Amino acid sequence: MKEPVTCEIIDNILVVTLDRPKANAIDVPTSQALGDAFISFRDNQELRVAIIIGAGERFFSGGWDLKAAADGEAVDSDFGPGGFAGLTELWDLNKPVIAAVNGLAVGGGFELALAADLIIAVEDAEFFVPEATLGIIPDSGGVLRLPRRLPKSIAMELLMTGRRMGVSEAKKYGLVNKSCSVETLRDDAIEWAREIAKSAPLSLAAIKSVVRETEAMDLETANAFMRSGGIDDYNKMLKSEDAKEGTNAFSEKRNPEWKGI
């Protein structure tokens, strides 16, 4: 039987492919496999950036496997330590993740993309959360993340109606960073990941930690908390050899050699 999740390492980049025809829907075993992939990425010091992409050209992911649900898989099933799709509740992942959206991102598939840090999508991709029309809500991050990523009224419209959002609208609101053709999506995502991987890994971790831990604070409170010593990744970055290496490399007009220490 074909594995629903495959992983490929390209240099210091992990490409995670969700491959469950026809809609790349996610049942419990698939969610747990995605979680294993992202936890392995988190714990592997050699890996800098991850990409999550769907196989095929029609679906990034159709979300929760409703056939599995009809067969008895419950909403409160154990989807793994990273939550649904392995990423939506992996709070301690302080490395960048790119969602390369190759088609429809539906329900939990949209929530998976929202859990990534950056989104690149094909030009005819669409994003929608139809859960309210099915008697449930997108509670794997969608109902929480969408109002933080979109104007509240637009987020509420999507959540309450299940309306589809196209790429041009998603780019207008900053939900999608880039768009491209389906033929170049994987290569474009890898090239983008390579650019991100040029930055110091401890700096990337500090950025994610500071943003996550201060996003509910006002600016003055957030700044004071960041400077107070309460964010471990920020403190580690400040005291790191890499912080010295960056300035040395700049003055010596050479590329830095990051060690992650």
Give the tens place of pLDDT for each residue, 58-68. Answer: 999 999 987 87
**Residues annotated catalytic, as ranges:** 111, 131
- Looking only at the bridges linking them, the beta strands covering 97-101 and 59-61 are unpaired
What is the number of other CB atoms lying within 10 angstroms of the CB of residue 88?
Answer: 25
Structure confidence at residue 68 (pLDDT): 75
Helix (H, G, I), strand (E, B) or coil at 137: coil
Give the tens place of pLDDT for each residue, 134-158. Answer: 999 999 999 999 999 999 999 999 9
Give the tens place of pLDDT for each residue, 187-199. Answer: 999 999 999 999 9
Structure confidence at residue 31 (pLDDT): 96
Whether 205 and 147 map to the same domain: the answer is no
Whether 164 and 41 map to the same domain: the answer is yes
Residue 74: pLDDT band with limits 50, 70, 90: low
Does pLDDT of 1 surpass 90? Answer: no
Tokens 């880039």: give the residue. 178
Does 258 reside within a domain?
no
| CATH code: domain of residue 68 | 3.90.226.10
Q: Quote the number of domains for the chain.
A: 2
What range does the domain containing 235 cover? 201-251
Whether 234 and 109 map to the same domain: the answer is no
Residue 46: pLDDT band with limits 50, 70, 90: very high
Whether 68 and 185 map to the same domain: the answer is yes
Average the pLDDT over 29-57 and give the result.
Answer: 97
Alpha helix (H) residue ranges in 122-184: 142-149, 152-161, 167-172
How far is it, in rounded angstroms, from Cα 79 to Cα 14?
Answer: 21
85 touches 112 (CB < 8 A): yes
